[in-house]
Amino acid sequence: MAEAALRTVTPTGAEPAPEAPTGAGAASEVPAGARAASEASTGAEAASEVLVDDEFIAAGGHPTHVHDFHQFLHVPLGRIVVTALGRDHELSPSVALWIPAGIPHSARFDPDSLVVPENFDPELHRLPYSEVTSVNVSGAQRQLLLSRMRASEPTEEDPALFAALCSGHRDVLPLPRPTGRSAATVAGELMRNPGDPRTASEWAESLYTSSTSLRRAFRAETGLAFSEWRTRLRLNHSLQLLAAGHMVSTVAARVGFVSTNGYILAFRRYFGETPGAYVKRSATRTAA
C-alpha cells in the first residue's frame, strides 16, 4: 500500500466491505500456539496468488500485493479488514496491524474508512514480529500518528516513531474500545479494575439501561461479546502481573478469575500455553 495514496483514501460510493468474522470464529481469536502452523500451511497458497502493484487501490479495497518494507497500519476512522496468509485481521481506531516485509496481503475498506500507513525500511529497523500481528493502539501512539498526519511537510520514517509503535507488549490480545456512552463507561471502569466481578446485568442496572442493550453495544462497537471482551482484558492485564513476578494463583485472583484453574484454561486457550510455560519462555526470550 503506497503511503501517499493511503493517507488520503476515503472510498465513497463503494459497496460496503464484507463483514469481518467475529465471535468464536474470528481470526483474532486463534490461539497464539496455533498461528505458526496455520500460516505455514497456507503460505504456499498465498504466495501463489496473483500480486498487483502495491500502489494500486480499487474502490473499497486493495488486491493482494506485497511490500519490500515493514508497514504499520492504523485506522483512525472506520474499519478495514486485512487478509494475509489465510487469516483476516480487523482494524479499528484502537487496533492496528504490523505487516512485515515480504508477506502477501489484501485489504477491504468500509466506505468511510481513513487508513494511515507508516512504512519502515527493514534494513534499518528490526521488527519484533515475524508474522502479521494485531496490536492495541495506546492514546500516546494515536496522538503521535495523528500529529504526523497534520504535518504540512511530508514526514520521513523516524527511528523514534518506530520504537514508539513497537513499545506495546508483544503478546497482548487485540481489544477494540467501545465508543458508545454505556459500553465505553463499563470498559473504562474494567480497565481500571479488571477484577470487578459485576455482571452485564449489574453494570446495566447501574447505568439505567438494559443488559440486552449493553451486550448489543459491546457486540456492535467492538465485534466481541461482553464476556469475551472482559476475558481478553483480564488476560492482557495478567501478562503485566506475570512479568512482575507474581504467582499464578495471585494473578488469577487479582484479574477476576473465580479459580486458578479457570485462569490457566483461559490462558492456554488464547496463548497456546500455560502461564507457567509462558513465564519461562518470556524469560528465555528476554535473555536472548
pLDDT digits (tens, 9 = 90+) for 194-244: 999 999 999 999 999 999 999 999 999 998 999 999 999 999 999 989 988
**pLDDT at position 25:** 35
Question: Which span out of 25-29, 111-115, 245-249 was modeled with the highest average pLDDT?
Answer: 245-249
> Rounded distance, CA 45 to CA 36, Å?
15
Sheet of strand 61-65, all strands in order from the earlier edge strand to the far edge:
61-65, 105-109, 80-84, 87-91
* Alpha-carbon torsion, ordered 40, 28, 286, 73, to 10 deg: 90
Q: What is the mean pLDDT of residues 85-98?
A: 88
Mean of the per-residue pLDDT values of the chain = 80
Q: State the helix-helix crossing angle for 226-243 and 260-271, rounded to 10 degrees.
A: 100
Q: Could you tell me the pLDDT band of residue 267, with boundaries at 50, 70 and 90?
A: very high
Query: Which residue, 107, 30, 104, is CA-closest to 65?
Result: 104
pLDDT, tens digit, for every residue of 17-39?
444 444 333 334 444 444 444 44
**Residue percentage of the chain with pLDDT more than 70:** 75
First to last CA, the chain: 33
pTM: 0.62
Residue 256: Cβ within 10 Å count: 20
The lowest-confidence range among 90-94, 115-119, 198-202 is 90-94
**pLDDT at position 36:** 43
CA distances from 187 to 80, 114, 121, 153, 177 (A): 23, 24, 37, 37, 7
Query: Is the pLDDT higher at 221 or at 55?
Result: 221
**Residue percentage of the chain with pLDDT more than 90:** 45
**Residue 54 above 80 pLDDT?**
no
Query: Is the pLDDT higher at 105 or at 48?
Result: 105
**pLDDT at position 285:** 64
Location of C-alpha cell 514508539: 164
pLDDT, tens digit, for every residue of 127-184?
988 889 888 887 788 888 888 887 766 666 678 889 889 877 777 888 898 989 999 9
> Rounded distance, CA 113 to CA 80, Å?
7
Q: Which amino acid is at 243?
A: A
